[in-house]
Structure 1
Amino acid sequence: MTRKICCVFLTLSVLIFIGAGCRDSKMVTDAKVVFSNTLKGNFFFQPESKTAYDKVAADSTGKYQFVAEIQEPTFFRYVGVKQGFYSVYLTPGANVEIVESENGVEFKGDWAAENTFLAENRYIGISKEGIESYSAEWLEINSEEIKRLIA
């Protein structure tokens, strides 16, 4: 009888151990961007694949931030108060701060060096003859040019 109890206890222990290992551990996929602009005015932040611009608005605490649920590295576009266009590189779990002032745009946090490089080597996609701006083909051409600049 004690042997059966030991076998049942051992089996339950193994099942509990296996079950604990199989829990759905949510991978951190939210990338957070905080805007600490010293300039007043409207600014925009969006994925490169999106064609309409959404103004960044303050949250209930008065902070300007953007949280994106992404599964893989992604490029976003930041359109600053002074209407400058910047590519911003984000990865799942990244925390980035964008500061726009009279002196330009500064990046802090994760990927600061890469985003600074992109800002210093800006490439604003100009539509080639016969390619519509913000079309899938246009986005692909711009993505390839940004990759070329990074390389």
Structure 2
Amino acid sequence: MSSPDPLSLERQVCFALTVASRSVVAAYKPVLEPMGITHPQYLVMLALWAEEPLTVSELAERLHQDAPTLSPLLKRLETRGLVKRMRSTTDERRLQISLTDEGAALRSQAAEVPFEMAKRLGMEPGRLVELHEAMIELIEASQRSLETEA
């Protein structure tokens, strides 16, 4: 009997992560739609519900994204009335993002999202915690790998 092919698509961590990411984000869509936000917008709101105001660069760092990627997303959230963007009073080059009253109030509705997602995924909460811990470990390992390359 031959050993499994190390180049088999199904054995690739990157493939499993890509499919899992797309599938989980798609599962969030019907849960977030009643709130009127997309998954990327939900991530921004999570960061702001934890701490505000944040500069665009602080927000980008927390979300592991580039600041220019966030700009259109922040504009849409501002148009929706959930956040406000304003120049820092100490440094005009820095744009600070904070919640509006409506954005802050949305947090109570969002409090049900993790429970609804656990139910939709049909996984035990303990298993989801294990998966989360494994993903954090994988993120840290991949970031260390990138740092050694630089």
TM-score, structure 2 normalization: 0.22
Greater relative CO (CA pairs within 8 A, separation 6+): 1
TM-score, structure 1 normalization: 0.22
Q: Which has the higher helix share?
A: 2
Q: Which has the higher strand share?
A: 1
